[in-house]
Protein backbone atom coordinates (compact mmCIF):
# COMPACT_ATOMS: atom_id res chain seq x y z
CA UNK A 1 0.00 0.00 0.00
CA UNK A 2 2.84 2.41 0.86
CA UNK A 3 4.46 1.62 -2.48
CA UNK A 4 1.32 2.71 -4.38
CA UNK A 5 0.98 5.85 -2.29
CA UNK A 6 4.61 6.76 -2.99
CA UNK A 7 4.13 6.20 -6.74
CA UNK A 8 0.99 8.34 -6.71
CA UNK A 9 2.77 11.21 -4.96
CA UNK A 10 5.71 10.91 -7.37
CA UNK A 11 3.43 11.13 -10.43
CA UNK A 12 1.60 14.12 -8.95
CA UNK A 13 4.89 15.95 -8.37
CA UNK A 14 6.10 15.24 -11.90
CA UNK A 15 2.76 16.39 -13.34
CA UNK A 16 2.96 19.62 -11.38
CA UNK A 17 6.49 20.33 -12.58
CA UNK A 18 5.62 19.76 -16.24
CA UNK A 19 2.42 21.81 -15.95
CA UNK A 20 4.16 25.13 -15.30
CA UNK A 21 5.24 27.76 -17.83
CA UNK A 22 8.28 29.84 -17.01
CA UNK A 23 9.03 33.41 -18.05
CA UNK A 24 12.70 34.32 -17.96
CA UNK A 25 14.01 37.88 -18.03
CA UNK A 26 17.47 39.24 -18.82
CA UNK A 27 18.75 42.58 -17.57
CA UNK A 28 21.64 44.84 -18.53
CA UNK A 29 24.11 46.32 -16.02
CA UNK A 30 21.90 49.37 -15.41
CA UNK A 31 18.99 47.14 -14.37
CA UNK A 32 16.91 47.60 -17.55
CA UNK A 33 15.08 44.58 -18.89
CA UNK A 34 16.61 43.62 -22.22
CA UNK A 35 15.00 40.28 -22.99
CA UNK A 36 11.87 38.31 -22.17
CA UNK A 37 11.66 34.60 -22.97
CA UNK A 38 8.69 32.30 -22.46
CA UNK A 39 9.67 28.68 -21.83
CA UNK A 40 6.95 26.18 -22.64
CA UNK A 41 6.42 22.84 -21.04
CA UNK A 42 5.14 19.64 -22.59
CA UNK A 43 1.51 20.24 -21.64
CA UNK A 44 1.55 23.61 -23.43
CA UNK A 45 3.12 22.08 -26.53
CA UNK A 46 0.42 19.39 -26.68
CA UNK A 47 -2.43 21.90 -26.94
CA UNK A 48 -4.80 21.82 -29.87
CA UNK A 49 -3.28 23.32 -33.04
CA UNK A 50 -6.45 25.34 -33.70
CA UNK A 51 -5.89 27.43 -30.55
CA UNK A 52 -3.24 29.79 -31.90
CA UNK A 53 -1.46 31.58 -29.09
CA UNK A 54 -0.45 35.17 -29.41
CA UNK A 55 2.42 36.56 -27.36
CA UNK A 56 2.74 40.25 -26.62
CA UNK A 57 5.07 42.72 -24.99
CA UNK A 58 4.98 46.48 -24.46
CA UNK A 59 7.88 48.54 -25.80
CA UNK A 60 7.36 52.20 -24.88
CA UNK A 61 3.77 52.88 -25.99
CA UNK A 62 3.79 50.12 -28.63
CA UNK A 63 2.31 46.69 -28.06
CA UNK A 64 4.03 43.96 -30.04
CA UNK A 65 2.11 40.74 -30.81
CA UNK A 66 3.73 37.69 -32.38
CA UNK A 67 1.81 34.64 -33.54
CA UNK A 68 1.95 31.69 -34.06
CA UNK A 69 5.04 30.59 -32.21
CA UNK A 70 6.00 27.79 -32.85
CA UNK A 71 5.31 28.34 -36.54
CA UNK A 72 5.37 26.18 -39.63
CA UNK A 73 6.37 29.02 -41.94
CA UNK A 74 4.28 32.19 -41.65
CA UNK A 75 5.02 34.41 -38.68
CA UNK A 76 2.79 37.42 -38.03
CA UNK A 77 4.08 40.47 -36.18
CA UNK A 78 1.72 43.26 -35.18
CA UNK A 79 2.93 46.55 -33.67
CA UNK A 80 0.34 48.98 -32.33
CA UNK A 81 0.55 52.80 -32.48
CA UNK A 82 3.15 52.82 -35.25
CA UNK A 83 3.31 55.94 -37.42
CA UNK A 84 5.55 57.30 -40.15
CA UNK A 85 7.52 59.14 -37.47
CA UNK A 86 8.60 55.84 -35.89
CA UNK A 87 11.50 53.82 -37.22
CA UNK A 88 10.65 50.14 -36.86
CA UNK A 89 12.56 47.15 -38.19
CA UNK A 90 12.33 43.40 -37.71
CA UNK A 91 15.42 41.23 -38.16
CA UNK A 92 15.63 37.46 -38.03
CA UNK A 93 18.85 35.63 -37.20
CA UNK A 94 19.76 31.98 -37.04
CA UNK A 95 21.20 30.61 -33.82
CA UNK A 96 24.76 31.35 -34.97
CA UNK A 97 23.93 35.05 -35.50
CA UNK A 98 23.72 35.07 -39.31
CA UNK A 99 21.17 37.56 -40.66
CA UNK A 100 18.35 35.76 -42.50
CA UNK A 101 15.69 38.44 -43.05
CA UNK A 102 15.20 42.12 -42.42
CA UNK A 103 11.82 43.82 -42.79
CA UNK A 104 10.62 47.37 -42.23
CA UNK A 105 7.62 47.49 -39.92
CA UNK A 106 6.25 50.92 -40.76
CA UNK A 107 2.76 49.58 -41.49
CA UNK A 108 2.31 47.94 -38.08
CA UNK A 109 1.60 44.48 -39.51
CA UNK A 110 4.32 42.31 -41.01
CA UNK A 111 4.06 38.74 -42.28
CA UNK A 112 7.44 37.01 -42.30
CA UNK A 113 7.71 33.86 -44.41
CA UNK A 114 10.28 31.48 -42.95
CA UNK A 115 9.07 28.38 -44.77
CA UNK A 116 12.35 28.27 -46.71
CA UNK A 117 14.54 27.86 -43.64
CA UNK A 118 15.22 24.65 -41.76
CA UNK A 119 13.30 23.66 -38.64
CA UNK A 120 14.91 24.95 -35.47
CA UNK A 121 15.28 27.95 -33.19
CA UNK A 122 15.75 31.48 -34.51
CA UNK A 123 16.21 34.87 -32.89
CA UNK A 124 14.02 37.79 -33.91
CA UNK A 125 14.84 41.35 -32.92
CA UNK A 126 12.31 44.15 -33.16
CA UNK A 127 13.66 47.68 -33.00
CA UNK A 128 11.32 50.64 -32.52
CA UNK A 129 12.99 54.05 -32.21
CA UNK A 130 16.21 52.63 -30.70
CA UNK A 131 14.32 50.34 -28.26
CA UNK A 132 15.06 46.69 -28.94
CA UNK A 133 13.20 43.56 -27.89
CA UNK A 134 14.38 40.02 -28.62
CA UNK A 135 12.20 36.96 -29.22
CA UNK A 136 12.94 33.27 -29.62
CA UNK A 137 11.12 31.87 -32.66
CA UNK A 138 10.63 28.14 -33.14
CA UNK A 139 10.13 26.76 -36.65
CA UNK A 140 8.69 23.28 -36.66
Q: Which pLDDT score, from 0 to 100, does residue 40 have?
A: 60
Per residue in 58-95, pLDDT tens? 777 888 899 998 899 899 999 888 888 888 899 999 99
Cα–Cα distance for residue pair 66/47, rounded to 1 Å: 18
Q: Is pLDDT at 124 greater than 60 in this prediction?
A: yes
Domain ranges for the chain: 1-47, 50-140
CATH code of domain 50-140: 2.60.40.10
Could you tell me the pTM of the whole model? 0.61
Secondary structure of 73-130 as H, E, C letters: CEEEEEECCCCCCCCEEEEEECCCCCEEEEEECCCCEEEEECCCCCCEEEEEEEEECC
Amino acid sequence: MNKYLLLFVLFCCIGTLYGQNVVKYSYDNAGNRTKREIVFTRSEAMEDEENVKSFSEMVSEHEIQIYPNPTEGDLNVSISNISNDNQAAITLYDISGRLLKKEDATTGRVNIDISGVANGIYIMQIMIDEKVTTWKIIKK
